[in-house]
Amino acid sequence: MEKIINYLFSKQDVKYKDFQAKLIPTIDSISIIGVRTNELRNYAKELIKEDYSLFLKELPHKYFDENQLHAFIISEIKDYDECINCINEFLPFVDNWATCDQMSPKIFKKNIDKLIDKIYIWLESKNIYEIRFGINMLMKYYLDSNYKKEYLEKVSKIESEEYYVNMMIAWFFATALVKQYDETIIYLENKKLDKWVHNKTIQKAIESFRITNEQKEYLRNLKIK
Protein backbone atom coordinates (compact mmCIF):
# COMPACT_ATOMS: atom_id res chain seq x y z
CA MET A 1 0.00 0.00 0.00
CA GLU A 2 2.79 2.41 0.87
CA LYS A 3 4.45 1.70 -2.46
CA ILE A 4 1.22 2.45 -4.33
CA ILE A 5 0.53 5.68 -2.42
CA ASN A 6 4.11 6.86 -2.99
CA TYR A 7 3.75 6.17 -6.69
CA LEU A 8 0.48 8.09 -6.92
CA PHE A 9 1.97 11.13 -5.22
CA SER A 10 5.00 10.96 -7.52
CA LYS A 11 2.56 11.46 -10.42
CA GLN A 12 0.62 14.30 -8.80
CA ASP A 13 -0.50 17.16 -11.03
CA VAL A 14 -1.86 19.99 -8.86
CA LYS A 15 -3.63 21.76 -11.71
CA TYR A 16 -5.35 18.52 -12.67
CA LYS A 17 -6.32 18.03 -9.01
CA ASP A 18 -8.05 21.42 -8.99
CA PHE A 19 -9.77 20.58 -12.28
CA GLN A 20 -11.10 17.29 -10.92
CA ALA A 21 -12.34 18.92 -7.71
CA LYS A 22 -14.67 21.12 -9.77
CA LEU A 23 -16.03 18.15 -11.74
CA ILE A 24 -16.68 15.89 -8.75
CA PRO A 25 -18.46 17.92 -6.05
CA THR A 26 -19.58 14.87 -4.05
CA ILE A 27 -16.10 14.17 -2.67
CA ASP A 28 -13.77 16.21 -0.46
CA SER A 29 -11.09 17.86 -2.61
CA ILE A 30 -8.53 16.93 0.06
CA SER A 31 -8.95 13.30 -1.00
CA ILE A 32 -7.85 14.07 -4.57
CA ILE A 33 -4.16 13.57 -5.30
CA GLY A 34 -4.40 14.67 -8.92
CA VAL A 35 -3.05 11.77 -10.98
CA ARG A 36 -4.06 11.92 -14.63
CA THR A 37 -6.34 9.20 -15.95
CA ASN A 38 -3.84 7.79 -18.47
CA GLU A 39 -1.25 7.41 -15.71
CA LEU A 40 -3.74 5.48 -13.59
CA ARG A 41 -4.79 3.24 -16.48
CA ASN A 42 -1.19 2.39 -17.27
CA TYR A 43 -0.37 1.75 -13.62
CA ALA A 44 -3.40 -0.56 -13.33
CA LYS A 45 -2.09 -2.59 -16.28
CA GLU A 46 1.22 -2.99 -14.45
CA LEU A 47 -0.39 -3.96 -11.15
CA ILE A 48 -2.69 -6.52 -12.77
CA LYS A 49 0.44 -8.53 -13.63
CA GLU A 50 1.41 -8.61 -9.96
CA ASP A 51 -0.49 -9.53 -6.78
CA TYR A 52 -3.17 -6.83 -6.70
CA SER A 53 -5.54 -8.65 -4.31
CA LEU A 54 -4.32 -6.93 -1.14
CA PHE A 55 -4.90 -3.49 -2.64
CA LEU A 56 -8.44 -4.41 -3.70
CA LYS A 57 -9.24 -5.57 -0.17
CA GLU A 58 -8.00 -2.31 1.43
CA LEU A 59 -11.43 -0.69 1.60
CA PRO A 60 -12.38 2.03 2.01
CA HIS A 61 -9.52 3.81 0.31
CA LYS A 62 -8.36 7.19 1.59
CA TYR A 63 -7.85 8.86 -1.79
CA PHE A 64 -10.05 9.35 -4.83
CA ASP A 65 -7.10 8.33 -7.01
CA GLU A 66 -6.95 4.98 -5.20
CA ASN A 67 -10.61 4.42 -6.06
CA GLN A 68 -9.86 5.27 -9.67
CA LEU A 69 -6.94 2.86 -9.71
CA HIS A 70 -9.17 0.22 -8.10
CA ALA A 71 -11.76 0.68 -10.86
CA PHE A 72 -9.13 0.38 -13.59
CA ILE A 73 -7.66 -2.78 -12.06
CA ILE A 74 -11.10 -4.38 -11.94
CA SER A 75 -11.59 -3.43 -15.59
CA GLU A 76 -8.50 -5.50 -16.46
CA ILE A 77 -9.45 -8.69 -14.57
CA LYS A 78 -9.81 -11.54 -17.06
CA ASP A 79 -11.76 -14.04 -14.96
CA TYR A 80 -15.48 -13.21 -15.05
CA ASP A 81 -16.44 -14.61 -11.63
CA GLU A 82 -13.48 -12.95 -9.93
CA CYS A 83 -14.37 -9.69 -11.64
CA ILE A 84 -17.99 -9.83 -10.45
CA ASN A 85 -16.90 -10.57 -6.89
CA CYS A 86 -14.48 -7.65 -6.90
CA ILE A 87 -17.15 -5.32 -8.27
CA ASN A 88 -19.67 -6.35 -5.64
CA GLU A 89 -17.09 -5.76 -2.91
CA PHE A 90 -16.13 -2.35 -4.32
CA LEU A 91 -19.46 -0.79 -5.36
CA PRO A 92 -20.65 -0.04 -1.79
CA PHE A 93 -17.56 2.15 -1.38
CA VAL A 94 -17.86 4.04 -4.67
CA ASP A 95 -18.81 7.63 -3.85
CA ASN A 96 -18.63 9.52 -7.13
CA TRP A 97 -19.74 9.34 -10.77
CA ALA A 98 -16.22 9.29 -12.24
CA THR A 99 -15.09 6.10 -10.49
CA CYS A 100 -18.45 4.50 -11.20
CA ASP A 101 -18.41 5.31 -14.91
CA GLN A 102 -14.78 4.47 -15.56
CA MET A 103 -15.15 0.94 -14.23
CA SER A 104 -15.83 -1.01 -17.41
CA PRO A 105 -14.56 -4.61 -17.31
CA LYS A 106 -13.42 -5.94 -20.68
CA ILE A 107 -14.45 -9.46 -19.71
CA PHE A 108 -18.13 -8.46 -19.70
CA LYS A 109 -18.30 -8.49 -23.49
CA LYS A 110 -17.66 -12.24 -23.49
CA ASN A 111 -20.28 -12.96 -20.83
CA ILE A 112 -23.36 -11.10 -22.03
CA ASP A 113 -25.76 -13.95 -21.22
CA LYS A 114 -24.65 -14.17 -17.59
CA LEU A 115 -24.13 -10.46 -17.01
CA ILE A 116 -27.76 -9.42 -17.44
CA ASP A 117 -28.81 -11.17 -14.22
CA LYS A 118 -26.16 -9.24 -12.28
CA ILE A 119 -27.26 -5.98 -13.89
CA TYR A 120 -30.84 -6.57 -12.76
CA ILE A 121 -29.59 -7.05 -9.19
CA TRP A 122 -27.65 -3.75 -9.35
CA LEU A 123 -30.71 -1.95 -10.69
CA GLU A 124 -32.69 -3.08 -7.63
CA SER A 125 -30.08 -1.73 -5.20
CA LYS A 126 -30.66 1.23 -2.88
CA ASN A 127 -27.08 2.37 -3.48
CA ILE A 128 -26.78 5.31 -5.91
CA TYR A 129 -23.69 4.09 -7.70
CA GLU A 130 -24.72 0.44 -7.89
CA ILE A 131 -27.85 1.57 -9.75
CA ARG A 132 -25.84 3.94 -11.95
CA PHE A 133 -23.30 1.24 -12.73
CA GLY A 134 -26.04 -1.22 -13.66
CA ILE A 135 -27.72 1.26 -16.02
CA ASN A 136 -24.36 2.10 -17.57
CA MET A 137 -23.59 -1.56 -18.29
CA LEU A 138 -27.08 -2.07 -19.71
CA MET A 139 -26.55 0.93 -21.97
CA LYS A 140 -23.13 -0.26 -23.09
CA TYR A 141 -23.91 -3.90 -23.88
CA TYR A 142 -27.66 -4.27 -24.44
CA LEU A 143 -28.89 -1.59 -26.82
CA ASP A 144 -27.48 -3.10 -30.02
CA SER A 145 -27.58 -6.75 -31.10
CA ASN A 146 -28.40 -7.89 -27.54
CA TYR A 147 -31.34 -5.51 -27.22
CA LYS A 148 -34.74 -6.48 -25.77
CA LYS A 149 -37.76 -4.26 -25.18
CA GLU A 150 -37.80 -5.21 -21.53
CA TYR A 151 -34.58 -3.28 -20.90
CA LEU A 152 -36.26 0.06 -21.66
CA GLU A 153 -39.16 -0.86 -19.41
CA LYS A 154 -36.85 -1.93 -16.60
CA VAL A 155 -34.96 1.37 -16.55
CA SER A 156 -38.12 3.45 -16.99
CA LYS A 157 -39.47 2.04 -13.73
CA ILE A 158 -36.48 3.14 -11.64
CA GLU A 159 -37.64 5.86 -9.25
CA SER A 160 -35.01 8.01 -7.61
CA GLU A 161 -34.48 11.52 -6.30
CA GLU A 162 -30.73 11.17 -6.79
CA TYR A 163 -29.20 13.39 -9.48
CA TYR A 164 -26.53 10.87 -10.50
CA VAL A 165 -29.11 8.12 -10.97
CA ASN A 166 -31.51 10.29 -12.94
CA MET A 167 -28.76 11.66 -15.12
CA MET A 168 -27.74 8.12 -16.05
CA ILE A 169 -31.34 7.19 -16.83
CA ALA A 170 -31.52 10.18 -19.18
CA TRP A 171 -28.22 9.20 -20.77
CA PHE A 172 -29.53 5.65 -21.21
CA PHE A 173 -32.71 6.79 -22.97
CA ALA A 174 -30.86 9.34 -25.11
CA THR A 175 -28.55 6.54 -26.28
CA ALA A 176 -31.54 4.25 -26.80
CA LEU A 177 -33.05 6.92 -29.07
CA VAL A 178 -29.96 6.65 -31.24
CA LYS A 179 -29.98 2.86 -31.38
CA GLN A 180 -33.64 1.87 -30.96
CA TYR A 181 -35.51 5.02 -31.89
CA ASP A 182 -38.94 3.63 -32.78
CA GLU A 183 -39.38 1.77 -29.50
CA THR A 184 -37.73 4.43 -27.33
CA ILE A 185 -39.64 7.45 -28.62
CA ILE A 186 -42.85 5.89 -27.26
CA TYR A 187 -41.60 6.50 -23.71
CA LEU A 188 -41.39 10.22 -24.44
CA GLU A 189 -44.61 10.43 -26.42
CA ASN A 190 -46.50 8.73 -23.59
CA LYS A 191 -44.62 10.64 -20.85
CA LYS A 192 -43.55 7.45 -19.09
CA LEU A 193 -40.46 9.03 -17.53
CA ASP A 194 -40.03 11.43 -14.63
CA LYS A 195 -40.40 15.03 -15.89
CA TRP A 196 -36.77 15.95 -15.22
CA VAL A 197 -35.49 12.73 -16.80
CA HIS A 198 -37.85 13.23 -19.75
CA ASN A 199 -36.56 16.72 -20.52
CA LYS A 200 -32.92 15.81 -19.86
CA THR A 201 -33.23 12.84 -22.24
CA ILE A 202 -34.50 15.19 -24.96
CA GLN A 203 -31.71 17.67 -24.26
CA LYS A 204 -28.99 15.04 -24.48
CA ALA A 205 -30.52 13.51 -27.61
CA ILE A 206 -30.70 16.91 -29.33
CA GLU A 207 -27.02 17.45 -28.52
CA SER A 208 -26.13 14.16 -30.24
CA PHE A 209 -24.80 14.19 -33.80
CA ARG A 210 -26.31 10.70 -34.23
CA ILE A 211 -29.87 12.03 -34.07
CA THR A 212 -31.25 13.41 -37.36
CA ASN A 213 -32.42 17.01 -37.66
CA GLU A 214 -35.97 15.80 -38.25
CA GLN A 215 -35.85 13.71 -35.08
CA LYS A 216 -34.44 16.63 -33.10
CA GLU A 217 -37.25 18.89 -34.24
CA TYR A 218 -39.83 16.33 -33.20
CA LEU A 219 -38.12 15.84 -29.83
CA ARG A 220 -38.22 19.59 -29.13
CA ASN A 221 -42.00 19.44 -29.42
CA LEU A 222 -42.13 16.69 -26.79
CA LYS A 223 -40.57 18.74 -24.00
CA ILE A 224 -42.70 19.03 -20.87
CA LYS A 225 -43.09 22.62 -19.65
pLDDT in tens, 197-217: 999 999 999 999 999 999 999
- Say whether pLDDT at 4 is over 90: yes
Question: Are the C-beta atoms of residues 123 and 154 closer than 8 Å to each other?
Answer: yes
> Rounded to an integer, what distance in angstroms lies between the CA atom of residue 96 and that of residue 65?
12
Give me the domains of the chain, ranges plus CATH numbers. 1-108 (no CATH), 111-219 (1.25.40.290)
Percent of the chain exceeding pLDDT 90 equals 96
The mean pLDDT value of the chain amounts to 96
A 10 A CB-CB count for 67 gives: 25
Average pLDDT over residues 149-161: 97
> Rounded to an integer, what distance in angstroms lies between the CA atom of residue 202 and that of residue 224?
10
Closest CA to 101 of 80, 78, 65, 132: 132
pLDDT in tens, 46-104: 999 888 889 999 999 999 999 999 999 999 999 999 999 999 999 999 999 999 999 99
